Structure 1
Amino acid sequence: MQSDILSHLQNKGRKKVSLGLLGEVIFMAAIVAITLLAFHTHEKRILFVGVFCDIFNILMYASPLTIVKKVVTTKSVEFMPLYLSLANFLNGCVWTAYALIKFDIFMLVSNGLGAFFGLLQLVLYAFYYKSTPKHGGKEVKPSEIQLPVSDTASRV
């Protein structure tokens, strides 16, 4: 019985991932088609794709900041991943340095903002780290929480 439920949940998860991937492929194909059909010069295509990529790059860098309200109200960084914030900051810094070398404005804008957003996350983490409650000497992360699984199927 429980293995049927687990199998159903796994199939449901696979369907969700497959639909998400299919949506991304369709979205990417639409962007390529728009770029090739609507913009006839190389400069216009670069501008369109550059701005489009900048928008999504900024959204990627800013997405961990959605937890800021929860961190400030609870005065806890329990749900704010340190390594993601650190990786965002370092990635933004490296790509900003590269953009300055090549002076690519598209890379400079989005990755400069990414480095800034990563720095904000790290400052926020440092500010609220001491006030974060500890659970039994070890912080419990959402990824470490697991559902209990019965071993009755293995006994049969």
Structure 2
Amino acid sequence: MTIEPLLSPCPSPPPCSNLGWLSYGALKGDGILIVVNTVGAALQTLYILAYLHYCPRKRVVLLQTATLLGVLLLGYGYFWLLVPNPEARLQQLGLFCSVFTISMYLSPLADLAKVIQTKSTQCLSYPLTIATVLTSASWCLYGFRLRDPYIMVSNFPGIVTSFIRFWLFWKYPQEQDRNYWFLQT
């Protein structure tokens, strides 16, 4: 048995979102943002390393990863060197992180046309949809509690897109994979 089919066609992006929110949390002095995004960045890094280990097309993945990390470094250079005012830096970094998070939550809708055309939700993950709605709702509530519009507003699309995907799962139920066998325990 080969590992290739078990890997997704493209890896998760480098931990750019986690590192952005980690910087935002550090600048704001928010321990919860710091801890959660440190763990998230570490897990994303481990995922990328494991993916690269098994990936047959390392050159493409390395190029994508290097490009995103280059963009991340340019962003850090901008925020830490060209924006000396900490309050302005916090506002601009919050906006940057929000845009990145919103685009992350909207990305699964790229498969919307494929789902409607094929009348199949095979390309969508139900467990990931549940995790997304729970995570984005938690962060929305946390942002509301802190009265932080960057945290609150950037996570709201996660709730909306999750409910769109739930509707798609209801409208086009997934068929059981006939090639999958449960192991008897």
Report the TM-score when normalising by structure 2.
0.61
What is the correspondence of 1:92-111 to structure 2 with a 5 Å cutoff? 92-111=136-155
> Tell me, what secondary structure is at the counterpart of 1:79?
coil
Seq. identity, %? 25
> Tell me, what secondary structure is at the counterpart of 1:96?
helix
Change (3 A) 1:71 1:140: farther
Output the amino acid matched with 2:145: I
Pick aligned residue for 2:77 from 27, 30, 33: 33
What is the correspondence of 1:60-99 to structure 2 with a 5 Å cutoff? 60-99=104-143
**Are residues 1:138 and 2:182 paired?**
no
Aligned to 2:58: 14
Using the TM superposition, give the Cα deviation of residue 56 of structure 1 relative to its aligned residue in structure 2, in angstroms: 0.8
Aligned to 1:115: 159
Pick aligned residue for 1:125 from 159, 165, 169: 169
Aligned to 2:14: none
- Output one character per residue of 1:18-45: Cα deviation in whole Å (capped at 9) or x when no partner: 2233223221111011112322211110
CA distance, structure 2, for counterparts of residue 123 and residue 12 of structure 1: 36
> Tell me, what secondary structure is at the counterpart of 1:44?
helix
Contiguous gaps of at least 5 residues in structure 2? 1-53, 181-185
CA distance, structure 2, for counterparts of residue 57 and residue 122 of structure 1: 20
Length, aligned pairs only: 127
Q: Which has the larger radius of gyration?
A: 1
Greater alpha carbon shift after TM alignment, 72-81 vs 11-20:
11-20
CA distance, structure 2, for counterparts of residue 106 and residue 93 of structure 1: 14
Q: CA RMSD in A?
A: 2.1
Change (3 A) 1:114 1:11: closer
Using the TM superposition, give the Cα deviation of residue 15 of structure 1 relative to its aligned residue in structure 2, in angstroms: 2.5
CA distance, structure 1, for counterparts of residue 55 and residue 179 of structure 2: 28
- Output one character per residue of 1:94-136: Cα deviation in whole Å (capped at 9) or x when no partner: 111111111111000011121111121112211211xx5x4xx
Runs (4+) of structure 1 exceeding 4 A deviation are none
